Chains A and B, each alone.
Chain A
Amino acid sequence: MTTLSARSVVLDLPNCSPLPMSFEMKSGEVWGLLGPNGVGKTTLLHTLANLRKWCSGNIYIDQIRLQDIHRLSLAQKVGVLFQEHQDGLPATVMETVLLGRFPYSASNWKNDSRRDQELTTAALEALSLQSLSTRSLHQLSGGERQRTAIAALYAQAPDIWLVDEPTNHLDLHHQVEVMSLLSQQAKKGGVMIMSLHDLNLAARWCSHVMLMYPDRSILAGQAQQLLTLENLEPLYQQKLVQGEIDGQTVFMPSN
């Protein structure tokens, strides 16, 4: 059982002084971070991984302050999927995915353990990348690179998943595959936190949402209660319509 909690945290954002936010996220929950561009979704995810300083307040993982956790044990607990993948130097898919095991085998001369190799193989399978495993990242399409990054995160096997726009570059089939993979990880005891732009993905897969408004306090709670037109229209400054198809709530922009 893992708990991630924030108490009156003020993010370090460049051009506005956001209001303090408090929330608690637990194992088994799938959280969707929703909000307009530039509101701080990525900043929040980086802050929760201690990759970025924040202005005030405290963040705890299982009641331990985030700053007090050693970086390698933190990397075993918390994994991040970045929105932009840097690939200046060449590497193959296999090498990249295996790097996800680094926090467990950081010591140099230990050979990759059985568990490292099993998890890497499982990760390649889960993202259907087996046939690409020896390909160089440079030769991959955007979607294939995104799946490689998700596979590396899968191999890292963190308790808390901070996933920045997981469906970027993915076709519809792989969007569904990735979203169901991530929600399975939550069912297995992970805390899943993802920033999303697609309200319909949030409505279908997220148990909880956090609505990040530029001008007022966040709203965090059960997805069913918060995903309403009254909450979402001011969030995006956009008129919306809501409907139901096949038992699923869907949102569309209206004219």
Chain B
Amino acid sequence: MLHRSPSMPLILLVFVSCATLLFSITQGSVSLSITDVSSALRSQGSQLYQTLVWELRIPRVAAAFATGALLSMAGALMQILLRNPLADPYVLGISGGASVMVLGAILVGASGIILSGAAFLGATLSSLLVFGLSQRSGQTTPMRLLLTGVVIAAGWGACITLILAIAPPQKIPGMLFWLMGDLAYAHSPWLAWVVLAMVSMLVMPFAKSLNVLARGPLQAAALGVNVVFLERFVFILASLMTAIAVTTAGSVGFVGLVIPHMMRLILGNDQRLILPASALSGGCLVTFADTIARTVIAPEQLPVGVITALIGVPTFLFLLNKGRM
């Protein structure tokens, strides 16, 4: 599929993304019409609507989109790094580390921005731990990295269970919401957008090398790819994206696994196309899921992770059934 013009599907996805974003801004506890939104965007019309659109809906929708985009791109990169189509952004224990720190912070009574800080700290610590432990004589094989990550993730899982077991009952719902992924605490989407833009600019020049790396490290080295550098680079970028996504919205499941697969099924295996397409459609999925999460039983909200899992599980089983994995 390397011949086909890459622009058409991407242009289409940009349109779908805009439509999804606009639709999500109109939905919520107060339904707005497209005209209300467009006048509010131009700082006209009712003051209430302007506040609603600018201070509540746009930050939330932007955070949802960025989270989905980060997770999908991180998933696509992890699958190449580990040469394993079942890898997702959390497979190396990054979300586990973040969860333990956040739950610990909730346990001692922290809230707000401190939780985001704790999530980022946990994610960073966990990825450093996995990378450090998987090194042997300066080399990391994907299998070693994967096994180390899976074991560390299992360790974090035990810590999470422990914290849930000893936590006072009134703190449990907050913890569970965070564990399922929840955008209600997404304070500011801008960090996620900055990281998304930065990482995209850094990784896209290497998309063709990633196509070669997908054929295995030795083959890639024989074709002139600097494998050691590229693998570290991809690990760092994927970890950073996952850390930021987890910091923004907790561990939203399935997006990072399902979206890259769907894109590969539809668009082929060229990373020059798959990476941006994954980012756009992952953004759409989480934005859409979050809109359902905050409207279906409004004014109460569901964790967005529940919705992505409800969409993700059947899709994933469908793909498995088609035998393309």
Interface residues of A (CB under 8 A from B): 46, 49, 51, 71-72, 74-76, 78-80, 82, 85-92, 94-96, 98-100, 102-103, 105-108, 112, 117, 156
Contact = CB atoms under 8 A, between A and B. Distances in A.
B50 interface: no
Given A86-B219, A102-B224, A112-B2, 12 more contacts: A49-B222, A51-B218, A71-B225, A74-B224, A75-B223, A88-B214, A92-B1, A92-B268, A95-B1, A95-B270, A102-B208, A102-B212
Contacts of B221: 51, 71
A88 B216 contact: yes
B211 interface: yes
Given A88-B216, A92-B269, A98 B223 contact: no
B105 interface: no
A91 B269 contact: yes
B204 interface: yes
B169 interface: no
Nearest to B84: A88
B104 to A, nearest CB: 36
26 contacts: A46-B218, A51-B221, A71-B224, A75-B222, A75-B223, A76-B224, A80-B218, A82-B219, A82-B222, A85-B219, A86-B215, A86-B218, A88-B214, A89-B83, A89-B214, A91-B215, A91-B269, A95-B211, A99-B212, A99-B223, A102-B208, A102-B212, A103-B224, A108-B204, A108-B205, A108-B208
Nearest to B206: A108
B205 A88 contact: no
Contacts of B209: 102, 106
Which one of B84, B85, B269 has the greatest number of beta carbons of chain A within 10 Å?
B269
B204 to A, nearest CB: 7
A112 B66 CA distance: 32
Contacts of B80: 89
A101 to B, nearest CB: 9
Interface string B65-107: 0000000000000011001110000000000000000000000
Contacts of B212: 99, 102
B57 interface: no
Interface string B222-266: 111110000000000000000000000000000000000000100
Nearest to B221: A51
A71 B324 contact: no
Interface string B179-220: 000000000000000000000000011111101101110110
B3 interface: yes
Given A95-B270, A106-B209, A112-B3, A86 B216 contact: yes
Nearest to B265: A90
Given A51-B221, A102-B208, A90 B2 contact: no
List 4 A-B pairs, minimum CB-CB distance, nearest first: A75-B224, A86-B216, A88-B83, A72-B224
B272 interface: yes
Interface residues of B, number: 33
B324 A106 contact: no
Nearest to B270: A95
Contact of B223 (A87, A100, A108): A100
Nearest to B82: A88
A1 B206 CA distance: 34
B222 to A, nearest CB: 4
Interface string B263-301: 010001110100000000000000000000000000000
Contacts of A112: 2-3
A238 B269 CA distance: 48
A72 B222 CA distance: 9
A71 B219 CA distance: 13
Contact of A71 (B85, B204, B205, B226): B226
Of the candidates B85, B205, B268, B324, the one having the most CB atoms from chain A within 10 angstroms of its own CB is B268
A102 B269 CA distance: 15
Contacts of B215: 86-87, 89, 91, 96, 99
A228 B85 CA distance: 50
B268 A95 contact: yes
B225 to A, nearest CB: 8
A106 B208 contact: yes
A82 B1 CA distance: 24
Nearest to A99: B212
B24 to A, nearest CB: 33
Which of the listed residues A46, A96, A99, A100 has the most CB atoms from chain B within 10 Å of its own CB? A99
Contact of B211 (A74, A78, A79, A99): A99
Contact of B85 (A90, A100, A117): A90
Residue of A75, A94, A107 with highest tally of chain B CB at under 10 A:
A75
Interface in B292-316: none
B224 to A, nearest CB: 3
